[in-house]
């Protein structure tokens, strides 16, 4: 068994949220020692560079190439999976070694990655998002046409549900199809037909059923939610609030007390505004209005002050894929320190996904998912452009050759 030492780096310690010089010893894909002056059979020279734990993106859509509905409905159905292979490789090259897919990826994609058939991040998949009739995930438009970015197929069941018993059955169906996490929409959304984010979707008995039935299957619930819809989701014990604009102080207090994560996806807001300004995506007028109204929210800044746990998520591809680490800069702009922003992308994200026993920090007994970067690890500005090499289980899966 070969013992490989990554020598001479500055390590980001996610447990203390600090950085210091140290070596990392890896055997058979696992970290066996961290310290100075370690010996080994092979060596990776990291002098002048830094090592981060493999990073997490807790909100991606790997089968989606854009949110342009008119373009999406003209593409062959299976093309999404071939494009997803490229999206997976590009995400991995940014240093993101684990993702939570918030709709689109199915069990086959996860298994393909696990078996080494397709390079990409480890993944938890939700398959699709539970929506009420007329909700954020309902593909119906006033023309009576159904324009669906995530059309159902045998591995991605249809998800429009109403009432607790429909919800119970649908969650069981999603789990049967391979869902690792249950995604729901408890409010309206921005890039969809119908009401905006300010309206609550699903009633209390329906949301309670989601959490209860998911827990019975050993699954967490992630809730696309804003405002009052987020408050309802938090009241019933979801694991995380995705996007989470316009959260009031009471909701944030509950989230801090109950350790319910906020995944702000700040990149998505920026991407939507940029696409509106440059005309790269054609939106119906009602969606353009919702994008313009969503700017300027101070929820993340207040969440930081309230002690709400935060995990990094981007909602890629709404902001260009491969630019995932811009989210770290945006989190810092909202009040996190650089060390805390990195924590949101490492140990906090791992805890959110229930993976912190083996991932999220550089410690003996954890998987050797490592990211080698140029410069100071606590400088997150332009971090994605400074990634030199990415390792999963101690194996190089991306090396920059310039």
The domain spans of the chain are 3-53+360-399, 55-352
Whether the pLDDT of residue 136 is over 70: the answer is: yes
> What pLDDT band is residue 279 in, cutting at 50, 70 and 90?
low
Average pLDDT estimate for 288-314? 85
Instruction: Give residue 5's pLDDT.
Output: 98
Instruction: Give residue 116's pLDDT.
Output: 96
Q: What percent of the chain has pLDDT over 90?
A: 81
Do domains 3-53+360-399 and 55-352 share one topology? The answer is: no
Q: Pick the more confident residue, 56 or 269.
A: 56
Average pLDDT estimate for 90-104? 98
> What pLDDT band is residue 96 in, cutting at 50, 70 and 90?
very high
CATH number of the 55-352 domain: 3.20.20.140
Instruction: Give residue 314's pLDDT.
Output: 97
- 59 and 265 Cβ atoms separated by less than 8 Å: yes
d(C-alpha 237, C-alpha 232), whole Å: 9
Whether the pLDDT of residue 144 is over 90: the answer is: no
Instruction: Give residue 139's pLDDT.
Output: 81
Average pLDDT estimate for 193-207? 85
Lowest-confidence region among 52-61, 72-81, 133-142, 264-273: 133-142
Instruction: Give residue 46's pLDDT.
Output: 96
Q: Give the count of alpha carbons within 13 A of 313, CB side only.
A: 30
- 131 and 137 Cβ atoms separated by less than 8 Å: yes
Instruction: Give residue 192's pLDDT.
Output: 61
Instruction: Give residue 296's pLDDT.
Output: 61
Whether the pLDDT of residue 290 is over 90: the answer is: no
Instruction: Give residue 401's pLDDT.
Output: 84
Q: pLDDT digits over 353-387, tens only? A: 999 999 999 999 999 999 999 999 999 999 999 99
Instruction: Give residue 73's pLDDT.
Output: 80
CATH number of the 3-53+360-399 domain: 2.30.40.10
Whether the pLDDT of residue 83 is over 80: the answer is: yes
Average pLDDT estimate for 289-303? 77
Say whether pTM exceeds 0.85.
yes
Mean pLDDT of the chain: 93
Instruction: Give residue 288's pLDDT.
Output: 64
């Amino acid at each position: 068994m070969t013992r490989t030492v990554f020598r001479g780096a500055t390590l980001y310690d996610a447990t203390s949220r600090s950085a210091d010089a140290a070596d990392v010893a890896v055997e058979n894909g696992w970290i066996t020692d961290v310290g100075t002056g370690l010996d080994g059979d092979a060596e990776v020279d990291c002098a002048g560079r830094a090592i981060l734990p493999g990073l997490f993106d807790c909100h991606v859509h790997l089968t989606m190439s854009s949110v342009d509905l008119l373009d999406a409905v003209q593409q062959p159905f299976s093309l999404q999976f071939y494009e997803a292979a490229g999206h997976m490789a590009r995400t991995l090259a940014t240093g993101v070694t684990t993702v939570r897919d918030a709709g689109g990826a199915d069990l086959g994609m996860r298994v393909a990655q696990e078996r080494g058939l397709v390079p990409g991040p480890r993944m938890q998949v939700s398959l699709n998002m539970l929506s009420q009739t007329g909700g954020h995930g309902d593909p119906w438009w006033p023309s009576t046409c159904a324009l669906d970015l995530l059309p159902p197929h045998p591995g991605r069941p249809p998800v429009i549900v109403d009432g607790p018993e429909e919800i119970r059955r649908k969650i069981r169906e999603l789990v049967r199809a391979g869902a690792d996490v249950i995604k729901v929409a408890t409010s309206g959304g921005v890039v969809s037909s119908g009401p905006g984010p300010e309206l609550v979707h699903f009633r209390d008995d329906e949301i309670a059923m989601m959490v209860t039935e998911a827990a019975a299957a050993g699954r967490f619930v992630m809730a696309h939610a804003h405002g009052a819809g987020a408050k309802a989701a938090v009241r019933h014990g979801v694991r995380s609030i995705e996007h989470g604009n316009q959260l009031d102080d009471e909701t944030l207090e509950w989230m801090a007390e109950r350790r319910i994560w906020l995944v702000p996806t700040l990149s998505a807001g920026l991407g939507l505004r940029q696409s509106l300004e440059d005309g790269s995506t054609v939106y119906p007028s009602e969606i353009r209005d919702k994008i313009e109204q969503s700017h300027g929210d101070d929820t993340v800044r207040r969440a930081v002050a309230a002690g709400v746990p935060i995990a990094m998520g981007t909602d890629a591809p709404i902001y260009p894929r491969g630019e995932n680490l811009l989210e770290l800069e945006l989190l810092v702009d909202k009040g996190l320190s650089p060390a805390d922003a990195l924590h949101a992308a490492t140990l906090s994200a791992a805890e959110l996904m229930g993976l912190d026993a083996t991932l999220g920090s550089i410690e003996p007994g954890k998987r050797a998912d490592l990211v080698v970067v140029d410069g100071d690890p606590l400088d997150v500005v332009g971090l994605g452009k400074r990634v030199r090499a990415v390792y999963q289980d101690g194996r190089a899966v991306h090396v920059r050759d310039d």
